[in-house]
Structure 1
Amino acid sequence: MLGEFDIIARYFATPDNTSSMAGITLGPGDDCALLSPAAGTELAMSVDTSVVDVHFPGDAPPEAIGHRALAVALSDLAAMGARPRGCLMALTLSHAEPVWLERFAHGFRDLAWRTSTPLVGGDVTRGTLSIAVTVIGDVPVGQALRRSGAAPGERLAVTGALGGGHGGLRMWQAGGHDLEDPLLAAYLMPVPQLEAGQALRGLASAALDVSDGLLADLGHLCHASGVGASLDPACIPLAPTLEMTLGSEGALHAALNGGDDYQLLVSVPDAAWEEARRRCAECDVTLTEIGHVVAEPGILGVPETLSGVGWQHFTGDGP
């Protein structure tokens, strides 16, 4: 029987050189990790909890569950234009199954390595499966992207494509479990847009990640900025094979309301638009204009049949 300290030592212990990475002066093993902020930066921190059969299916591949738990947290750093520095994980398990843990840890560690986000501490306890990940990043002072700042006349744009997360969830629920499928990959193995977020610093006037659905998240950006928006639904980039899977109207509804896309939604002044597109292209990311900011509150251009509230806990509304 594995105890909590055995689990930490066997599956989540980090290399001895972790303390020399990214300003980490003390890594796992003590009561706290110690990080030294880089000169001229401020820390960006966010926590995201993933609960079995709420945020991911319990029978999903353990590698995907580990990857996804870290990816959705890192997406918040991307939305702020922050560089990852490290992360903490509080893992709650119903039981300690060595094969499952090894595969879960592999998925988590692989993304952590690829994004330079070392695991610097955490906790393991017993209960219903859930993974709470706290990410720590840094951003040059005064350069963090925020939800506030969008101004009338600016272009609204998104990175990548939308609707894949919702489409992948529907496929999984229908019995499709091939992670090579682009929709299933978008749902279970999302890619946080960290490079694009950093590239858009100094260009985008407002930003956030699309996690609850485009309309819901655009509403958050508009509220924070004290503006409204006009969308052109025909311009919204849809995930590959989404229309073939859900039909034209279903695909657009998924893109507008489905959530779980973890792309970036940004407001960009005209003068910065071409440079913003160029920088995103250098990151191998598309930046697509989908509308513009208006002075009047509300979101224009979306037919009532396609409107929704996105994902909300406790209301029963969601994917």
Structure 2
Amino acid sequence: MKEQDVLELIHTSFTGLLHEGAKGFSNDGALVLPNSGQRLAVSTDAFASDVDFRPFWGTAAQAGGRAIKQNLSDLAAMGAQPLGFTWSLSISHDWLNNSEGFQSFVHGAAQVCREHQLLLLGGDLGWQKEGFSCHITIIGETHGAGLGHQSAQPEESLWLSGPLGESHLGLSLIQQAHHAQPFLSDPQFQTWVQNRSKQERKWVERHLNGHHELGLGHHLNGLASACIDISDGLSSDLHKICRASGVGASLELAPLVQHLPQTTPKQSQQVEHAVLHGGEDFVLLFSVPKAKENELNSLIEAGFCLQKIGQTNTEKSQITLHSAGCTKMLHPLGWDAINLY
């Protein structure tokens, strides 16, 4: 593939989703006018081969869709609805020569954008020696002040919008299988997935397909004091809220692990690690003043899976975890993009 082929692929895949200022992806950006009374929400994210996804660990289309979903998750955590995004793609010759894989990645991204009418505002193409990476800057708008990390107060309840640990457990299964016998083709990987138990397939698919809570985020405006999506792991992301807000927190382990099997001590340790420190679940963690807790009932009745897991306190940046009568400190041991090795 040459540059013109890539531009044509993007233009065709995003038909109807190209902002008028994008000029078929030939412009780096576009002028965007938010609706009256709206506040802009902006987030940026990197997505790289051999770090965020690997060949034959799921399809390229799944990887492309996940790249968009994790950015939509950032908007959800700010209580925003999507407007559009810019897309910087850096591609090696290996990826360009594997045109089918690259095309599938772009098609997967476009499919998720189409589901949410997320417009492509522009972008840039570059070359790198090995692999493939994309950088996305997404823009949304929100009524009122929106949501952030810094406004939690002591004695507020802490809530999750879904279960934790499934994505990490799915990734662990893939890594263990790849270590025993490397995945060298999509059919080989798909056969392995189909041979897993129903529960294990659910975990693997949760990791590969990604997730976002865009439907919930804007409902939390004016209700939640602070909010974040769980991308780096509960221990790390809750510490971000506590540091930014100047509060501490206490958590109960039991409600966090009750949905996962713990039949042996080793399995219990794996589950606890996945729930507390595993990332990429992309559910929302948020704090709510006790006076507003009853307002969550309408969201629960509407089908949102909300679970109370603890509360904030005055112990700045200190998080305690309570389990079976024991208390221990919870340190931020989740994903660290800089100290990987």
TM-score normalised by the chain length of structure 2: 0.83
Aligned to 1:232: 252
**Conserved in 2, the CA contact under 8 Å of 1:4 and 1:125?**
no
Distance 2:136 2:120 in 1: 10
Aligned to 2:35: 38
Q: Which amino acid aligns with 2:2?
A: G
- Gap change, CA 1:290 and 1:241, over 3 Å in 2: closer
- Gap change, CA 1:4 and 1:219, over 3 Å in 2: same
Match of 2:220 among 181, 189, 200: 200
Match of 2:306 among 287, 293, 306: 287
Aligned to 1:8: 7
Cα distance, 1:285 vs structure 2 = 2.5
- Gap change, CA 1:229 and 1:106, over 3 Å in 2: same
CA RMSD between the two structures: 2.4
**Conserved in 2, the CA contact under 8 Å of 1:199 and 1:280?**
no
Distance 1:271 1:34 in 2: 41
Q: Which amino acid aligns with 1:193?
A: E
Q: Which amino acid aligns with 1:204?
A: A
**Conserved in 2, the CA contact under 8 Å of 1:207 and 1:264?**
yes
Match of 1:296 among 288, 291, 315: 315
Aligned to 1:77: 75
Do residues 27 (structure 1) and 27 (structure 2) align? Answer: no
Cα distance, 1:83 vs structure 2 = 0.3
- Aligned ranges 1:1-319 → 2 under 5 Å: 2-13=1-12, 17-18=16-17, 24-29=19-24, 30-31=26-27, 32-60=29-57, 61-94=59-92, 95-96=95-96, 97-127=98-128, 128-142=131-145, 144-175=146-177, 177=189, 178=193, 181-236=201-256, 243=262, 247-279=267-299, 281-282=301-302, 284-297=303-316, 298-301=318-321, 304=328, 307=331, 309-316=333-340
**Deviation per CA, 1:129-159, whole angstroms, max 9, x where unpaired?**
11211111011232x1111111111100111
Q: Which amino acid aligns with 2:306?
A: L
Cα distance, 1:25 vs structure 2 = 4.8
Cα distance, 1:100 vs structure 2 = 1.0
**Deviation per CA, 1:50-89, whole angstroms, max 9, x where unpaired?**
1112122233310111011111111110100000011121
Cα distance, 1:174 vs structure 2 = 2.1
Unaligned residue ranges in structure 2 (runs of 5+): 179-188
**Conserved in 2, the CA contact under 8 Å of 1:14 and 1:28?**
no
**Conserved in 2, the CA contact under 8 Å of 1:183 and 1:242?**
no
Cα distance, 1:11 vs structure 2 = 3.6
Q: Which amino acid aligns with 1:56?
A: F
Cα distance, 1:231 vs structure 2 = 0.4
Cα distance, 1:277 vs structure 2 = 4.1
Distance 2:162 2:151 in 1: 22
Identity rate, percent: 33
The DSSP-based 3-state class of the residue aligned with 2:340 is: coil
Q: Which amino acid aligns with 2:115?
A: R
**Deviation per CA, 1:233-267, whole angstroms, max 9, x where unpaired?**
111156x6565797222112111001111111000
Moved more, 105-114 or 298-307: 298-307
Cα distance, 1:314 vs structure 2 = 2.6
Aligned residues, how many? Answer: 309
**Conserved in 2, the CA contact under 8 Å of 1:167 and 1:242?**
no
**Deviation per CA, 1:26-51, whole angstroms, max 9, x where unpaired?**
23435332221110011111110011
Q: Which amino acid aligns with 1:279?
A: L
**Conserved in 1, the CA contact under 8 Å of 2:13 and 2:110?**
no
Moved more, 49-58 or 70-79: 49-58
**Conserved in 1, the CA contact under 8 Å of 2:157 and 2:312?**
yes
**Deviation per CA, 1:163-200, whole angstroms, max 9, x where unpaired?**
11211110111228428821112212111111111111
The structure having more radius of gyration, on CA atoms, is 2
